[in-house]
A = this chain, B = another copy of it.
Amino acid sequence: MDRNIARLRTRLDSLGVTLRPHLKTSKSVEVARRVMASPAGPATVSTLREASRFAGAGVRDIIYAVGIAPSKLPQVLELRAQGVDIAVVLDTAEQARAVAKASLDAGVRIPALIEIDCDGHRSGIRPGDSAQLLEIGRCLAEGAELRGVITHAGASYAARGVEALRQCAEAERRSVVDAATTLREAGLPCPVVSVGSTPTAHNATDLTGVTEVRAGVFVFFDLFMAGVGVCRIEDIALSVLATVIGHQREKGWILVDAGWMAMSQDRGTSKQEINQGYGVVCDLAGKPYADLILADANQEHGIIAVRPGSNARLPDLAIGDRVRILPNHACATGAQHGSYHVVRGASEAVEAEWPRFGGW
């Protein structure tokens, strides 16, 4: 984890942009303090629960990066009244008017970023839709604070190869830099130009005009990111410890007490070149067994088997033996657990237990 954090920080330092880590991956104050530039932030969150919990731990500079519902503005104002500079994200004039009205009613200018949909994968306005962009900007200016523009290259998760990832990063950059230019040319402010996804953060070669990069899963990495080519399997800093509870020898199965409740049901790698099942099975030191995956999972049962088509031998694991299972998706697997047990490298000694939270 420390190495993953240092790697992205060094990279973004050399590109001259600020890292605003997405704390939704860890939902842990202990991890957040290691991944943020300072205990006060900056940070990105995906729920107001995260905003509130991290604010309680001293974070003062937060973007709530999911489109704002007007019913959540009282909570935003409450956080701002506590001295937290929390900004919201939106992509409609309707939301902008609601934020401006709530700002005027409270006598507090709520900062908002306009979301650009750089690759058509989710929310945000289309790049180049100046009319919509300026309408939202002007609605905000009537009471709220137009803080800037924001985008997320979610489609980069499906890109393959350095060249494709660089193109995603450049499309991501250009979408918000162009939007910032449009706003500024119309006399509107746009101090923040925010991009971010772990694949593009690790592949962008030029971030001219961008002020900050958001990324989350880089802190732990996972099998999906290894499949994208952004990390190696040995960089993955999160695993689930499981115990062998049975065998079905004729079928080549080893049963463990980690099913989808422990791993999550994320099957993201099933669409990648290497389908990792529900996870890659390692020894206690974290070294993967050859072609051994969690092939299937029920709620509390996991079925370990050799990957289909492989000639690898099923390891000789007895009842009670323990294995580590690397996850497809660190954000999803982390969310199934109440805390992290911290180990150093291949050591088994638990040095600390870091709580994590969930909910909304």
| A69-B243, A319-B92 as given contacts; A122 in contact with B303, CB under 8 Å | yes
Residues of B within 8 A of A244 (CB): 69
Indicate whether A20 reaches chain B with its CB closer than 8 angstroms: no
Q: Is A40 interfacial (CB-CB < 8 Å)?
A: no
A66 touches B300 (CB 8 A): yes
Collect the chain B residues with CB atoms within 8 Å of residue A247's CB: 92
Which residues on B sit within 8 Å (CB–CB) of A318? 94
- Known A122-B255, A299-B46, A301-B122; contact A70-B265, beta-carbon cutoff 8 A: no
Chain A interface helix/strand/loop/mixed: loop
A205 CB-CB contact with B under 8 Å: no
Residues of B within 8 A of A4 (CB): none
Question: In the complex, A358 Cα to B338 Cα: how many Å?
Answer: 8
Q: Does A24 lie at the interface of the complex (its beta carbon under 8 Å from any beta carbon of B)?
A: yes
Q: CA A6 – CA B300 in complex, angstroms?
A: 27
User: What are the residues of chain B within 8 A of A266 when measuring CB–CB?
Assistant: 260, 265
Copies in the complex: 2
Q: Which of A75-83, A184-192, A329-337 contacts B (4 or more CB under 8 A)?
A: A329-337
Is B332 a contact partner of A265 (Cβ separation < 8 A)? yes
Q: In the complex, which residues of chain B have a beta carbon less than 8 angstroms from the beta carbon of A359?
A: 337-338
Q: Does A311 lie at the interface of the complex (its beta carbon under 8 Å from any beta carbon of B)?
A: no
Distance, CA A245 to CA B91, complexed state (A): 9
Within 8 A of B (CB), among A299-318: 299-301, 303, 318
User: Restricting to A265-310, which residues have a CB under 8 Å from any CB of B?
Assistant: 265-267, 298-301, 303
Q: Is the CB of A122 within 8 A of B71?
A: no
Encoded as 1 (CB less than 8 Å from any B CB) or 0, chain A from 347 to 360 comes to 00000000000111
Query: Is the Cβ of A332 less than 8 Å from the Cβ of B255?
Result: no
Please tell me if A154 contacts chain B, counting CB pairs below 8 Å. Answer: yes
Within 8 A of B (CB), among A74-104: 91-92, 94-95, 98
A16 within 8 A of partner (CB): no
**Assembly CA distance A299 to B268 (angstroms):** 13
* B261/A335 in contact, CB under 8 A: yes
B residues near A260, Cβ cutoff 8 Å: 266, 332
Of the A-B pairs whose beta carbons lie under 8 Å apart in the complex, a sample of 19, sorted by A's number, is A46-B299, A47-B300, A66-B257, A67-B245, A67-B301, A69-B243, A69-B320, A70-B320, A92-B246, A94-B319, A95-B246, A95-B319, A123-B255, A123-B301, A260-B266, A260-B332, A267-B267, A299-B332, A338-B359
